[in-house]
Amino acid sequence: MRVNFGAKPYSFPMPVYIIGTYDENNVPNAMNAAWGGICDDQKIMICIDSTHKTAANLQKSGAFTVSIGDASHMAECDYVGIVSGNKDQDKVSKCGLHPVKSEFVNAPYFEEFRMTIECRVISYDPQTCCLIGEIVNVNADESILDASGKIDPFKLEPISYDPVNHNYLKLGEIVGKAFHDGRKFK
pLDDT tens-place string over residues 6-38: 999 999 999 999 999 999 999 999 999 999 999
Bigger pLDDT: 48 vs 173: 48
The pLDDT tens digits for 153-173 are 999 999 999 999 999 999 888
- The boundaries of the domain holding residue 126 are 14-185
Instruction: Confirm whether 1 is domain-assigned.
Output: no
Half-sphere exposure of 161 (CA within 13 A, CB side): 21
Q: How many domains does the chain have?
A: 1
Instruction: Confirm whether 2 is domain-assigned.
Output: no
Contact 136, 118 (CB under 8 A): yes
pTM above 0.85, yes or no: yes
- What's the CATH number where 28 sits? 2.30.110.10
Contact 113, 71 (CB under 8 A): no
CA distances in angstroms from 134 to 65, 122, 124, listed in the order given: 11, 6, 12
Instruction: Confirm whether 8 is domain-assigned.
Output: no
Q: Which amino acid is present at 136? A: V
Mean pLDDT of 64-80: 98
